[in-house]
Amino acid sequence: MTRKYFGTDGIRGTVGQAPITPDFVLRLAHAVGRVLRRTESRPTVLIGKDTRISGYMLESALESGFNSAGVDVVLLGPLPTPGVAYLTRAQRASLGVVISASHNAYPDNGIKFFSAKGTKLDDAWELAVEAALEEPPVWADSPSLGKARRLDDAAGRYIEFCKSTFANDLTLKGLKIVVDGAHGAAYHIAPLVFHELGAEVIAIGCSPDGLNINHEVGATHPDALIKAVRANKAHYGIALDGDADRLQMVDADGRLFNGDEVLFLMVNERLARGEKVPGTVGTLMTNMAVEVALKKKGVEFVRAKVGDRYVLEELDKRGWL
């Protein structure tokens, strides 16, 4: 069945044009809230965002829509998309919501959702929300309205989680790393993570003003990273995009590593440390050389449709998460 509003990664468009308008976003949140209340009497939703100026407006619209459906809201402020997914699961929330248009320029914005497990939701859920959007709203009365609060230490919690994924016997001491935050959601997080792991950090793209997200910096504009790595004689450079769910890496010479190379290096490092890697999921676009090289190492390789949602579905289905 064709979806009217949802695309491959939530709902996205130009701010001020349908569907990214405050009235529609309020209705969307109300519809999502009604779907949630079919299985929960008092759902709780976490809302995070990137640094676009329109995020304030859309955050308020989402908050009102959810509260009007009897859903409690926890506001996280600017936070990477993976951080929202993590906290949704860690806080035992019913749903996670991200306000972002990822690597797009600031005039665009979007809404995407995560399940209580921190994973993308399936087509059936999106169709249920679209069906609820076509129904008249059912506004909660005063005793049933949802409440809203802020989680003031959301960024700190995610910083600690990121550090916890780094092996305790490893350190970044002695390394100089350029970190490009794309003036986006990780501007106050990524530099601290690498600094606290021991690296000397040169931060660029970490001064958001609401209008400069992804502008000539970040993963979609790696020239800024390459220039900074060479100028500072850094060992490595890491550039994120606006919502920090993708990255580009360069070495000391400014050479870009593509995603296939990064995937292989990650698996190879885990194997070298004696860790078990039951399998790896790539996409239809993953280079065949990666598949061949991994199979030679005894690692099963599976292809999913293009999109992180489908990669996660395969990982979850096979028990590889």
The set of catalytic residues is: 102
DSSP state at residue 144:
G
**Spatial separation of the C-alpha atoms in residues 238 and 248, rounded to whole Å:** 6
If DSSP codes are grouped into helix, strand and coil, which group holds residue 210? Answer: coil
Contact by Cβ (8 Å): 290, 282: yes
Contact by Cβ (8 Å): 51, 184: yes
What letter represents residue 255's amino acid?
R
In 3D space, the residue among 282, 316, 287, 276 whose CA is nearest the CA of residue 302 turns out to be 282
The full 3-state SS of 247-278, as one line of letters, equals: EEEEECCCCEECHHHHHHHHHHHHHHCCCCCC
